[in-house]
Amino acid sequence: MNSDPEIFRFSIFSKLTLMNVSELEIRRACEAPTDALSFASRSNIRSAQPELSVEEILTEIQRAADLPLEESTTLPAQAYTSPDFFDWEVENIFRKEWLALCHVSQIPNVGDFLNIDLLGEPLIVIRDKSNEIQVLSRVCPHRGMDIMPPGFGYDGHCPAQAKEGQSNCGNTRLLLCPYHSWTFELDGKVKACAEMQEAKGFNRDEWGLKTFRSEIWNGFVFINFSEDAPQSVAEQYEGLGKHLEPWNLGDMELVFAQEWDCAFNWKVLTENFMESYHHAGAHSKTLQPMMPARDTWTEAEKAHYIQCHLPMKPKVREEIADMESRGEQWDVFPPIPGVSGEKRFEWGLILGYPGFKFVVTADAAIWYRTQPLGPNRIKLLTTMLVPKSTVQHPDFDSMLEKGSKMAVDFHLEDMEVCMAVQRGYYSSGYQRGRLSHLEMPIWLIQRYLAARSRGTWPTMDRPAAPGQR
Ligand code: FES
Ligand SMILES: [Fe+2]
C-alpha cells in the first residue's frame, strides 16, 4: 500500500495547531493543503496499519454492517487509506451511481457551460440551443484532446468567454477543439472538421462529443457513468422529493460557492456531514447551542438515501416565534413561505448515496459537491441556495455576506476534525471504535457499502433498520 501518512504527520493542521494560529491561517491551509501533500511525495514512510486486501476490507465492512446498531463499530482504517480499496469504490460505487454536478441556476442561459473533472473524466455541462442541459465529455473524438483544459482558451483563441474571475465556467456559441480546430454544436454534434474529405467512410455525424446519461432532479444536474443503472434519480429519491417540495429547489439560485482541497477520504467527510453527535464537540459554540446533538435523529433505513433531523431546542423555537410575532426576521434570509410545521424549526440533513450531501433550513439550502481524487484527497465545493425572491430582496448582499460567513465558519470546524481524523487512520494508535446511537448514519453508510459489495442496495436483501429517535 503506497499510502501517504507523512501528509498527516506533517499536516498543515498539526503545524497550525502547534503554532496556535489564527482562523485565517487555518482557512488558507484548508483551501490549499497542497503544501502538506507535497510532503507526501518526498516521504517513504508507510502507514503503521497492516496492509489489507480489498477482499479483507470488504469482509470487515460486511461484518460491521451486519451488527445491530447498539453493537456497531467504526471500520478498519484501511477502508479510508487503501488506494486499492479506493479504486474498488470508484468502480463499484461512483461509476455506477447518480452523481450531482451542478444546479441549473449555474447555467441559466443558452451557451452557459460549467466544466468539471470527475473520476478522471473531463466533463462539460452545457445548456444547448434548445435550452436542454447536456453532459458531454470534453475529450475530442479526433485525437483525444481535452477541448477545454483548465484555464485554456479564454484568450481570444476560442469562442468561450469565461465568467469573471473563474476559469471553469462561462458562455460560448460553439465548442472548439484547439488542437486541429474541429468545432462542435452545443449539444456535442460535429459542426465542422476541415480536410477530412479523404478519410474513407468518415461520416461526421458519427463523431460528436460523447454524451453521458444525465437527469435533472429538483434543479440538480446528475450524471451516471453507467448505462445500466436500473433506476432514475427521481425513482431513487422519490420520498426525498416529496419532503423537499416546500423548498422548490428547482427554482432556487445558487448564490455562494467555495472550493476546498481536502486531505481526507470521501467517507470521512460524508460521515462527518451526516452525524450530528459532533455538535457537542466540534460545533460546541456554533451549532450545539441551537441544535443539541442529543435531540438529533435519523429516519428508518432507505435504499438510496439517509435522512436526519436536527430539531432546534425549545428556547430557540420560542425566540423565533416571538420575533416573528413582532414582524422581525430571526433567520439570515427571509423564511421560505411553504416551509412550515416541524420543518420550520429544524435543519434537515440528507445524504443521497453516495455523494449528494444536502441541508435544508427554513431560509436556504446548503449543497456540498465532492470530487473524490484518491484515498486521502477530495475536491469539495460548498454552496448555498436561496429562492429567487430572496435574491431580489433589497438587503440581499448583506444577508449573503452574513449567511456565507456562518456557513464557512462551521465548515472550518468540520475541516479541522476531518483532517485530524484522516491523520489518525495512518497511525498504529488507531483502533476500531464504538458508535453512539446518535451516529446511526455512519452505520447506515457501512450498510450501504456492504450492500453495494453484494451488488444491491440497503433494504433490498436485508430488512430495513428502524429509525432512531
Ligand atoms: S484532437 Fe481535437 S481537433 Fe484534433
Ligand atoms: Fe459538522
DSSP string, 96-134: TS-EEEEEGGGS-STTEEEEEEETTEEEEEEE-TTS-EE
CATH class of the structural domain 58-98+248-469:
alpha beta
47 has pLDDT over 90: no
Q: State the average pLDDT over residues 365-393.
A: 97
pLDDT at 60: 98
pLDDT at 151: 65
C-alpha to C-alpha distance for 437 and 448, rounded to whole angstroms: 17
Question: Residue 272 C-alpha to ligand 2 middle, in angstroms?
Answer: 6
Going from N- to C-terminal start, the domains of the chain cover: 58-98+248-469, 99-214
Q: Please give the pLDDT value at position 62.
A: 98
Of 96, 121, 126, the residue nearest 108 (C-alpha): 126
pLDDT digits (tens, 9 = 90+) for 323-360: 999 999 999 999 999 999 999 999 999 999 999 999 99
Residue nearest to atom 1 of ligand 1 (CA): 143
Across residues 288-298, what is the average pLDDT? 97
DSSP state of 433: P
Minimum-distance ligand to the CA of 368?
2
The answer to whether 140 touches 132, Cβ cutoff 8 Å, is no
Q: What is the percent of the chain where pLDDT is above 90?
A: 83
Cβ < 5 A residues, ion ligand 2: 414
**pLDDT value at residue 162:** 79
Biggest CA–CA distance in the chain, Å, is: 78
Decide if pLDDT at 186 tops 60.
yes
Q: How many helices (H) and strands (E) does the chain have?
A: 14, 18
- Tell me how far apart the alpha carbons of residues 286 and 225 are, in angstroms, rounded to a whole number: 39
Question: In this model, does residue 286 exceed pLDDT 60?
Answer: yes
The binding-site residues of ligand 1, defined as CB within 6 angstroms of any ligand atom, are: 140, 142-143, 145, 177, 179-180, 182
**Does residue 12 sit in helix, strand or coil?**
helix
Q: What is the mean pLDDT of residues 193-219?
A: 97
pLDDT digits (tens, 9 = 90+) for 50-62: 999 999 999 999 9
Per-residue confidence (pLDDT) for residue 34, from 0 to 100: 43
Confidence (pLDDT) at 310: 98
* pLDDT score recorded for residue 29: 53
Residue 149 pLDDT level (bands cut at 50, 70, 90)? confident
Inform me whether the pLDDT recorded for 457 exceeds 90: yes
pLDDT at 154: 56
Mean pLDDT of 377-386: 96
Q: Which of 338, 342, 345, 372 is nearest to 267 (CA)?
A: 372
- What is the pLDDT at residue 217? 98
The mean pLDDT of the chain is 90
Alpha-carbon distance 259 to 131, whole Å?
28
Grid cell 430572496 in the structure block, residue: 390
pLDDT at 27 (0 to 100): 56
One of 3.40.50.720, 3.90.380.10, 1.20.120.530, 2.102.10.10 is the CATH number of 99-214, namely 2.102.10.10
Cis omega (within 30 of 0) for bond into 354: yes
By most ligand atoms within 8 Å of CB, the mutation choice from 124, 138, 140 for ligand 1 is 140
**Does residue 303 contact residue 236 with C-beta atoms inside 8 Å?**
yes
* Residue in 215, 200, 193 with CA at minimum distance from that of residue 140: 193
Ligand 1 center–CA 146 separation, angstroms: 9
